[in-house]
């Protein structure tokens, strides 16, 4: 397990930034792949509209997603990981995460939580909940820091 990378999910949110910091205190020195999953629905909508620029939209979504992953990888390096960025465009987001985790045989998936519960989670969904439910490997869900919580 020590030779297998950690998959860190990063979307630029305060929760994702906090998850990297917490994971760094626990797993410093490990190899990490920092993943951002871009929204496939934007690309699908462009194709559905019959727009010949759908390929351009797909490329733009991927490039923006990669920039976000690179920012997350920089944070992960600051937290003590040997980190490389990774981007995918997929839907639902949890599937993109679990597919990459399977592909790299991640020892652990790390992600932040936006602390949705109850009706909010039911209506809007929860990526952390879905990843934990569908991943075939350990998942570390890091809650928001107390100062960042929505009281």
Q: pLDDT tens across 80-100, in order?
A: 999 999 999 998 999 999 999
Reply yes or no on whether the pLDDT at 119 is more than 50.
no
142, 23 contact by CB (below 8 A):
yes
Q: Within 54-142, where are the H helices?
A: 54-78, 93-104, 118-124, 127-134
| Residue 53, SS3 per DSSP | coil
In terms of pLDDT, which residue wins out, 79 or 48? 79
Top mean pLDDT of 64-68, 100-104, 140-144 is at 100-104
Q: Pairing mode, if any, of strands 108-112 and 82-90?
A: unpaired
Measure the CA–CA gap between 10 and 33, rounded to whole angstroms. Answer: 10
Closest CA to 139 of 121, 122, 127: 127
3-state secondary structure of 32: strand
pLDDT at 122: 47
Q: Place 103 in a pLDDT band, splitting at 50, 70 and 90.
A: very high
C-beta atoms surrounding 103 within 10 Å: 12
Contact (Cβ atoms closer than 8 angstroms) between residue 8 and residue 35: yes
pLDDT digits (tens, 9 = 90+) for 26-73: 999 999 999 999 987 654 555 445 555 556 767 888 899 999 999 999
Instruction: Report the C-alpha gap between 86 and 34 in whole angstroms.
Output: 6
Residue 142 C-alpha from the chain's centroid: 12
* 75 pLDDT more than 60: yes
Q: What is the pLDDT of residue 99?
A: 97
Q: Residues 25, 131, 137, 44: is their CA dihedral positive or negative?
A: negative
Q: What is the pLDDT of residues 7-16, one digit of tens each?
A: 999 999 999 9
CB 32 within 8 A of CB 101: no
Confidence label for 2 from pLDDT (cuts 50, 70 and 90): low
Segment 101-123 shows an average pLDDT of 76
Q: What is the CATH number of domain 6-148?
A: 3.40.50.620
């Amino acid at each position: 397990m020590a030779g297998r990378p950690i998959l860190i999910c990063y979307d630029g949110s305060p929760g994702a930034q906090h998850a990297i910091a917490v994971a760094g205190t626990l797993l410093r020195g490990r190899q990490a792949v920092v993943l951002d999953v871009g929204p496939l629905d934007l690309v699908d909508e462009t194709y559905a509209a019959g727009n010949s620029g759908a390929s351009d939209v797909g490329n733009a979504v991927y490039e923006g997603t990669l920039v976000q992953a690179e920012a997350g990888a920089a944070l992960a390096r600051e937290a003590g990981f040997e980190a490389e960025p990774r981007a995918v465009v997929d839907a639902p987001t949890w599937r993109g995460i679990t597919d990459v985790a399977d592909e790299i045989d991640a020892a652990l998936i790390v992600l932040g939580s936006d602390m949705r519960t109850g009706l909010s989670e039911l209506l809007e969904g929860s990526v952390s909940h879905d990843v934990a439910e569908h991943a075939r490997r350990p998942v570390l869900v890091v809650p928001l820091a107390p100062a960042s919580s929505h009281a």
